[in-house]
């Protein structure tokens, strides 16, 4: 008899726990925020008691007319009593119909409990309903189109340049030329720097009194400092962000490419060299095809990171002149600005959906020959 292999199933337990705690639960909470709306409505009663049947419901802040009032004795937890007012009120509900019924003094604001003839609904029961209101609010936001176009533009400019540089850097390290270990340390410097620090560093280079202006003025190339970062120079700001992101994150792609190069058998490269293949031919016909699995991983990783670019944009532009999707997510969530977690959740969900769609496209487009053969069969 074959012995049952329980180890894979035991390993599934922490994996499923991790997915449930750090993926499924946050996703369900975000889904609830994005596609539901919590409202408070006051249920009107047929009689001045909580257990009476309801005659209608009014939304918060609804102005109502006081038709009648009753003073009752409310029993306290310690056995004592205190006076409590109930009001017969009339108002217009969400459907536009006139409803009336009794409400406790705890649920309405009234200036004078005994003489006022008008009041305002201030309390009620919380209810949650499904809605596409937050999605529509994101799509009609005047900054949405600007944010998505800037994010896509940064992707188009950053990712190809990073991959070209990462492959060149990896080939330099793989060639084992003199001093290649020193190049590795130099290439890896940006890995120890956070996104925000990288943005501040490049801001310090291109600001009005930054390193670049100081150098050009001292060298006599210009008489006055050139203002790179301003509203009229959008192209310069995008260029600075691209430079900062390429400098900051190319090393990540390089490490993935280096690991892929190390997995390529040296016999293949030596055979190509023996048959007279040039460096470009070996790169095109041997190295790049065998690097497809590594490039696939790097493409997916860099696409996700490109959609999440945030700190560099904030450090260089402030996030008001030039915006990206992650910045809009923060703006809608920030209590000091819009304070709307629901629209922020829609933005975050949109980023996730687009990232997943592009990742799936990469998984289909950038496949090794073995993967393509298995898919075909």
State pLDDT tens for residues 333-373: 998 888 899 999 999 999 989 988 888 888 887 765 555 55
The C-alpha angle 311, 348, 230, rounded to 5 degrees, equals: 35
**What's the mean pLDDT in 79-106?**
86
Mean pLDDT of 94-110: 89
For residue 336, give the DSSP letter.
T
Position 370 scores a pLDDT of: 54
Residue 226 reports pLDDT greater than 70: yes
Instruction: State yes or no: pLDDT of 1 exceeds 80.
Output: no
> Which one-letter DSSP state was computed for residue 110?
-
Would you place residue 205 in the very low, low, confident or very high pLDDT band (cuts 50, 70, 90)? Answer: very high
Here the tokens at position 321 are 């002149």
Give the tens place of pLDDT for each residue, 10-26: 888 888 888 888 888 88
For residue 374, pLDDT over 60 is answered with no
Q: Higher model confidence: residue 126 or residue 235?
A: 235
Report whether pLDDT(287) > 90.
no
Q: Confidence class of residue 286 from pLDDT cuts 50, 70 and 90?
A: confident
- Give the pLDDT of residue 2: 56
Distance CA 304, CA 328 (A): 16
**DSSP-derived pairing of the beta strands 98-104 and 54-59:** unpaired
- The two tokens of residue 352 are 């996730």
Percentage with pLDDT > 90 across the chain: 32
Is residue 377 very low, low, confident or very high in pLDDT (cuts 50, 70, 90)?
low
Cβ proximity of 300 and 362 under 8 Å: yes
**How many C-beta neighbours within 10 Å does residue 210 have?**
16
- Residue 101: the pLDDT is 92
CATH number of 136-366: 1.10.3720.10
pLDDT band at 27 (very low <50, low <70, confident <90, very high): confident
Residue 230 has pLDDT above 90, yes or no: no
- 3-class SS of residue 366: coil
Instruction: Report in angstroms the alpha-carbon separations of 133 from 84, 167, 187, 296.
Output: 39, 46, 47, 37
Q: β-strand 125-130 against 81-92: which pairing, if any?
A: unpaired
- Which DSSP letter does residue 105 get? G
pLDDT at 177: 74
What is the per-residue DSSP string for 179-241?
A: THHHHHHHHHGGGGS-HHHHHHHHHHHHSTTSHHHHHHHHTTS-SS----SSTT-HHHHHHHH
Give the pLDDT of residue 368: 54
Look at residues 16, 53, 74, 73 and name the one whose alpha carbon lies nearest to residue 8. Answer: 16
Domain spans of the chain, in order of start:
38-129, 136-366
What is the SS3 assignment for 101? strand
Buried-exposed string 59-88: b where 16+ CB fall within 10 A, e elsewhere = eeebebebeebeeeeeeeeeeeeeeebbbb
Is this prediction's pTM over 0.95? no
Asked if 300 and 359 touch (Cβ cutoff 8 Å), the reply is yes
Strand partners, 368: none
Nearest to 110 by CA among 124, 122, 120, 99: 120
| Spatial distance between the Cα atoms of 366 and 295, rounded to a whole number of angstroms | 8
Q: What is the pLDDT of residue 233?
A: 86
Q: What are phi and psi of 287, to 5 degrees?
A: -70, -55
pLDDT at residue 312, as a whole number: 93
**Mean pLDDT to the nearest integer, 132-142:** 93
Task: Give the relative orientation of helices 195-206 and 234-262 as an angle to the nearest 10 degrees.
Answer: 130
pLDDT, residue 146, reads 93
- Which pLDDT score is estimated for 4? 57
pLDDT tens string 170-204: 888 887 777 777 888 888 888 888 889 999 999 99
> Tell me, what's the pLDDT at 330?
93
Mean of all residue pLDDT scores within the chain: 86
pLDDT at 145: 93
Backbone phi and psi for residue 207, each to the nearest 5 degrees, phi listed first = -70, 170
């Amino acid at each position: 008899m074959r012995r049952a292999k329980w180890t894979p199933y035991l390993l599934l337990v922490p994996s499923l726990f991790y997915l449930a705690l750090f993926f499924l639960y946050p996703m369900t909470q975000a889904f609830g925020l994005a596609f539901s709306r919590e409202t408070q409505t006051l249920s009107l009663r047929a009689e001045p008691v909580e257990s009476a049947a309801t005659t209608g419901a009014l939304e918060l802040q609804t102005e109502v007319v006081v038709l009648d009032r009753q003073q009752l004795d409310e029993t306290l937890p310690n056995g004592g009593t205190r006076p409590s007012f109930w009001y017969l009120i009339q108002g217009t509900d969400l459907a536009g119909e006139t409803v009336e019924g009794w409400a406790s003094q705890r649920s309405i604001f009234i200036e004078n409990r005994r003489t006022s003839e008008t009041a305002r609904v201030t309390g009620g029961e919380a209810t949650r309903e499904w809605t596409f209101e937050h999605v529509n609010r994101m799509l009609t936001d005047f900054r949405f189109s600007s944010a998505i176009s800037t994010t896509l533009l940064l992707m188009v400019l950053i990712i190809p340049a990073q991959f070209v540089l990462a492959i060149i850097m990896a080939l330099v390290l793989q060639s084992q030329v003199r001093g290649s270990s020193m190049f590795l340390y130099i290439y890896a410097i940006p890995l120890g720097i956070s996104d925000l620090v990288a943005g501040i560093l490049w801001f310090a280079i291109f600001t009005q009194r930054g390193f670049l202006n100081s150098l050009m003025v001292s060298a006599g190339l210009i008489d006055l400092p050139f203002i790179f970062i301003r509203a009229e120079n959008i192209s310069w700001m995008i260029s600075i962000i691209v430079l900062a992101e390429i400098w900051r994150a190319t090393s990540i792609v390089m490490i993935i490419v280096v690991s892929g190069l190390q997995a390529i058998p040296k016999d293949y490269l030596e055979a190509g060299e023996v048959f007279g293949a040039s460096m470009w031919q070996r790169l095109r016909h041997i190295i790049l095809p065998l690097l497809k699995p590594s490039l696939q991983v790097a493409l997916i990783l860099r696409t996700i990171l490109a959609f999440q670019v945030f700190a560099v944009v904030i450090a260089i532009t402030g996030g008001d002149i030039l915006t990206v999707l992650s910045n809009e997510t923060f703006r809608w969530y920030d209590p000091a600005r819009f304070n709307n977690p629901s629209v922020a959740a829609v933005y975050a969900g949109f980023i996730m959906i687009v990232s997943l769609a592009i990742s799936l496209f990469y998984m289909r487009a950038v496949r090794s020959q073995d993967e393509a053969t298995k898919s075909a069969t």
